[in-house]
Amino acid sequence: MKPTSRLLLATAALLLGLVYVLPIWRVTLEAPQYPGGIGMLIHVDTITGVHRHDLQNINGLNHYIGMKPIVPDMIPELRWMPWLFGGLIGLGLLAAALGRRWALYAWTALFAALLAVGFVDYYRWGYDYGHDLSPDAAIKVPGMAYQPPIIGSKVILNFTAHSWPDLGGLAVFAAFALAAGLCVYELRHRRREAAASASTAAPSAPPESRARPDRAFAAPPEPAT
């Protein structure tokens, strides 16, 4: 890799470190009885309310419709995510130190796979919370599910749920976009290098032979007598 690519790859890896100080995801609920909205922030190792009592209020609402309470200590993903991000950061810095293109491609592929697994796991988590309802719930709406959106907005009864990446999540997406861009750049640079090498190694064409004018129009020899 070019030195600039190695520096940018290290920058992408270090960007992931922001998840340890900034929330990754934000889920908010808007309703007439909550004019300012209530919400929760998903961190790399815990879940907190946007405001002081938001998580408590969300669990209270969930109790009425039969949803399980959100207890951060009972969510296994919050225990291994710090290690997962730490390993990804370390491998990214190692790839930058090696300076080999294959290391960049492998790290970006691993990054993409972990992002895909993370979204699938988040979907399954939301599906379980929104569909596995207690039969003893105080409020029952036949056929109603309360799964929040993975990303975007969704109307659930008289609430509007919003689910968007927070600053830590934006840092993750920025790191992946930077890594993917580096892969495209290095692939193009490698093709240019291969083309230049092929043109240098190709043998030069022999010069065209040009007939001499005096030979081209010379009269044929007289037959011998």
| Residue that wins the pLDDT comparison between 46 and 139 | 46
At residue 201 the predicted structure's pLDDT band, cuts being 50, 70 and 90, is low
Angle at 74 between CA 70 and CA 77, to 5 degrees: 100
pLDDT at position 203, please?
56
Most confident listed range (54-58, 64-68, 82-86, 189-193):
82-86
Residues in Cβ contact with 89 at an 8 Å cutoff, skipping those fewer than 6 apart? 13, 14, 16, 17
pLDDT band at 211 (very low <50, low <70, confident <90, very high): very low
Q: Which tokens go with 141? A: 């709406």
* Full domain range(s) for residue 176: 3-190
Structural domain includes residue 202: no
Task: Say which DSSP state 64 is in.
Answer: H
Confidence at 206, pLDDT banded by 50, 70, 90? low
In a domain, 225, yes or no: no
**Which is nearest to 39 in space by CA: 171, 165, 161, 170?**
161
Residue 34 and residue 158: Cα distance in Å, rounded? 11
Assess if residue 215 is contained within a domain. no
Which of these ranges, 99-113, 158-172, 201-215, has the smallest mean pLDDT?
A: 201-215
pTM, two decimals, is 0.81
- pLDDT tens, residue by residue, 153-182: 998 888 899 999 999 999 999 999 999 999
30 located within any domain: yes
In a domain, 95, yes or no: yes
**What's the rounded Cα separation, in Å, for the pair 141 and 78?**
31
Task: Quick: pLDDT tens for 128-151.
Answer: 888 888 888 888 777 777 888 899
Residue 201 lies in a domain: no
Number of domains in the chain: 1
